[in-house]
Amino acid sequence: MKVGLVYDPIYLEHNTDPHPECARRLQETMELLEKSRVKQQLIEIHPERASLEELSLVHSADHISRIESVARSGGGWLDADTVMSPASYDVALYAAGGLLKATKAVMKGEMDSAFALVRPPGHHATETRAMGFCLFNNIAIAARQAMKEHNLDRVLIADFDVHHGNGTQDTFYRDPTVLYFSTHQYPFYPGTGSIKEVGAGEGQGATVNVPLPAWCGDEEYLQVFQQILVPTARRFQPQVILVSAGYDTHWADDISSMQVSITGLAQMVQTLKGLASELCQGRLVFTLEGGYHIPALAHSIKATLEVLLGAKDIDDPLGKPTYSRKAAGVEMIIQQVKSAHNLD
């Protein structure tokens, strides 16, 4: 299997310390990939800057100029969660551009799949607003550009971050050509992503939210993937699958109350890989979103890449949760989502 990896030291220049979304997330991940010799099995993808035209596929001119202006003025806080440094605008261009290049390489058949190890993340950024650590919506830009450049009319975006990707949902809420599927802790930041949010107008039914209660682990997530994602994807028949990969569902990550293990995350990736192989010639592209317990993040990304490379055995040094509670009402939620999307 030919698997690409987007990475560049420029992503470390988005200086946010002591923010949880910090450069160490990528530094320690790259160190692990080097040490484990996973990196040596990957095809390097060198990012390029996204153009203003590409950013404008999703974002308003005012939003783009505002982000540039804050950076040029020395950076600062955009809201209570989102901070910029002087280099952040340029870094964000390379984050979006890195995913664009990975998507193009997969669409052209230069590699089977790819992972964009980029920051800042993107799925909370809306047309006009940076929020939730995100400046530009990397995955929405990549989806729009892929559709434009490769004449696609069916793109699946799967989002397994613990937070709902409100910006991605907003971008495609009325668009029947992009199926947005999200699993997320609910109610939780940013407060969106209820079952009733299914899209509007021509896009009605193309937004599939699975709002999960706290304490869900491997069993619950895999149940959702098999009972909702798989049949939904098969019905939609995507031409490429893009993934907002947030690893903050891991049980060691204090930002959430989920209980997923590295093994469970690898099984989710295996499900996505299987769908891509079945439905869209294996075309599968991941981009990093959340994940703030750094050892869990690094080992989860390593496991993701190992699955993409075809490994059968996954190393899970953190193991099962040290403390767990039974999640309540998951079966009912699954049935409600199935009913909302005619999956029964």
Q: Rounded to an integer, what distance in angstroms lies between the CA atom of residue 280 and that of residue 286?
A: 15
Assigned token pair, 254? 């204090």
148 HSE (CA, 13 A, CB side): 12
Is 123 one of the catalytic residues?
no
Instruction: Find out whether 117 and 29 touch, Cβ atoms under 8 Å.
Output: yes
**Choosing from 63, 124, 163, 164, which is the catalytic residue?**
124
Instruction: Find out whether 115 and 305 touch, Cβ atoms under 8 Å.
Output: yes
**Which sequence positions are flagged as catalytic?**
124
